[in-house]
Amino acid sequence: MSSRPLDRSAHLARRARLAVLLGGRPALFAAGAPSPRNYAASTFPFRAASHFLYLVGAPIPGAMLLVEGERATLFTAPNTAADALWHGAQPSFDELAAQTGCAIRALDTLPEALKRADVATLPAIDLATCAQQSTLLGRTVRPGALAPMDEPLADAMIALRLANDDSAVRSMRTAVATTTRAHAAGMRATRPGVRESDVRAAMEREIVADGGAPAYGSIVTVHGEVLHNDVHHNVCSAGDLLLADVGAESADGWASDVTRTWPVSGIFSPTQRAIYEVVLAANRAAIDAVAPGVRYRDVHLVAARTIAAGLVELGLLIGDVQSLVDDGVTALFFPHGVGHLLGMDVHDLEDLGDRAGYAEGRTRSAQFGLSYLRLDRDLTLGMAITIEPGFYVVPAIFADPALAQLAAGRVNRDVLARYADVRGIRIEDDVLVTESGAEVLTHAIPKSVADVEAVLGAR
């Protein structure tokens, strides 16, 4: 990461916009501390908090940024001799000032600088840093809990980060380029007899080689019906579909999030292909529905209706498309939302909960399926979102008495039994909201049956 010069002007501009939104009110941002894995000195790779990274660009463990109107001061610990021995030469305060455009001060001078009582903050991701924020500000700061005095700061950060600037879009394109290579490598590595972990390894190799990191726990599974499957030990068999939900985070901390589903044998069976085409149609219809001003929930419903229509066509669902969607029957096979915000976090701004994902006055539905919709805002220019419809046959759903009741007379179990070689399919793209509607950032990752089979055929 230190190999890439910071986009200093972008970060200066972000801090300037923030100062305007806050009317000069001071705000404190914590980079956070590395999280221990086995013991204090054995940590997970450090990932600075997204709000901090968005405004500073450099992931400096333990650092704090104080924004006061046009003045931005970065507080960090001075380098020690042990740092130099164990971690090499670190940038001096002057070098850091030149890189970031912030004034740099020693971390131990921060309490003095915070003597004003009305400094807003956002909770760090790790508890150790939250404890530090609590001490510094003399009030309780904890993850997932926003004090009323911090709400305007949260809203300002949401407003800023929803409208991705040029620098953000460039970084997302970098993440997508890596992810594109990862999916190509995953397809090439797939053949009957390999384990899911072999394919995952081939995909993550591309990400690590590019200096990035997986933006989230990679899902690479022949059991796509487990939505957040985190095991990778199964062997891929010729009749399986492999679902790979793998996205790179760029070295500067921007996420991509892509799912493809491909046949291990290289050729979709007729049943797999039939359902795949339904999901693909939903993916395309939802992307076509994306435009500034459109309510995201409606994009979800476009996908749901497309799936319902396709499944009615196959005889798998019975009834009127709109009723199947309205009554939540479609959600038996498509139980999650069509997507979410994307940015520095794979579910962008989810540290702020539904305050980020849901427009004021909108709340989550209580209905099964729709309750998992993570985003219900009107789309605006520069917003980045995922579009990821899916089809799953989840045993737990059909084992649930209430949900099984919902299926009665509307799901043709005999027809469903014919699709036994389809357990889970998802097709997910990253989409930028543009004036003309939508730009699919992930367009280069094979998606049509013909394109996927062509890549697999060339293994």
What string marks each residue from 138 to 157 as x (binds a second copy by CB under 8 A) or -?
Answer: -----xx-------------
Q: Is 45 in the site for a second copy (CB under 8 A)?
A: yes
**Of 314 and 411, which has the nearer Cβ to a second copy?**
411
Between 56 and 280, whose beta carbon lies closer to a second copy?
A: 56
Residues in contact with a second copy, total (CB under 8 A)? Answer: 72
Return the DSSP state at 16: H
Which of 5, 23, 85, 361 is close enough to bind a second copy by CB under 8 A?
85
Under rule CB under 8 A, which residues in 93-112 are in contact with a second copy? none
Q: Specify the amino acid at residue 226.
A: V
Which listed residue (58, 125, 222, 387) binds a second copy by CB under 8 A?
A: 125
| Residue whose CB is less far from a second copy, 24 or 36 | 36
233 interacts with a second copy by CB under 8 A: yes
Give the Cα separation of 141 and 131 in Å (integer).
7
Based on CB atoms, which residue is closest to a second copy, 71 or 228? 228
Helices 93-100 and 8-22 sit at what angle, rounded to 10 degrees? Answer: 80
Residue 397 within binding range of a second copy, rule CB under 8 A: yes
Q: Is residue 206 a contact residue for a second copy (CB under 8 A)?
A: yes
> Which pair of tokens denotes residue 343?
């940015």
Q: Which residues of 150-178 are buried (b: 16+ CB within 10 A; e: fewer)?
A: beebbbbbbebbbebbebbbebbebbbbb
Residue 91 CB-half CA count within 13 A? 15
Residues from 348 through 387 that contact a second copy (CB under 8 A): 350-351
> Does residue 12 sit in helix, strand or coil?
helix
**Complete DSSP assignment for 144-175:** TB--GGGHHHHHHHHHHHHS--HHHHHHHHHH
- Residue 234 touches a second copy, criterion: CB under 8 A: yes
> 109, 395, 454, 459: which one contacts a second copy (CB under 8 A)?
395
- Does position 346 bind a second copy by CB under 8 A? yes
Range in contact with a second copy (rule: CB under 8 A) among 77-85, 149-157, 257-265, 303-311: 77-85
> Which residue among 120, 202, 242, 274 contacts a second copy (CB under 8 A)?
202
2 touching a second copy, by CB under 8 A:
yes
In the complex with a second copy, the residue whose CB is nearer, 50 or 438, is 50
335 binds a second copy (CB under 8 A): yes
CA-CA distance, 158 to 360, in Å (whole number)? Answer: 12
The CA-CA-CA angle for residues 254, 259, 260, to 5°, reads 140
Q: Which residues pair with 261 in a beta bridge?
A: 243
Q: Which amino acid is at 260?
A: R
- Rounded Cα distance between 140 and 179, Å, is 39
Q: Which residue among 41, 366, 408, 450 contacts a second copy (CB under 8 A)?
A: 41
**Binding segment for a second copy among 229-237, 290-298, 411-419, 448-456 (CB under 8 A)?**
229-237
User: Of the candidates 35, 73, 271, 365, which one interacts with a second copy according to CB under 8 A?
Assistant: 35
CA–CA dist 71, 284 (Å, integer): 46
Q: Give the residue carrying structure tokens 């062997």.
A: 235
| H and E: helices and strands count for the chain | 17, 17
Closest separation between CB of residue 299 and a second copy, Å?
A: 22
CA-wise closest residue to 322 among 304, 335, 338? 304
Q: Does 450 bind a second copy (CB under 8 A)?
A: no
Looking at the Cβ atoms of 226 and 415, the one nearer to a second copy is 226
- As measured in angstroms, the least distance from the Cβ of 83 to a second copy is 9
Least separation in angstroms between residue 118's CB and a second copy is 26
Q: How far is the CB of 375 from a second copy (least distance, A)?
A: 14
- In eight-state DSSP terms, residue 237 is -
CA neighbor of 176 nearest in space, from 443, 390, 448, 434:
443
Q: How many CB atoms lie within 10 A of CB 292?
A: 16
Q: Which of 139, 173, 191, 232 binds a second copy (CB under 8 A)?
A: 232
Asked whether position 47 contacts a second copy by CB under 8 A, the answer is yes
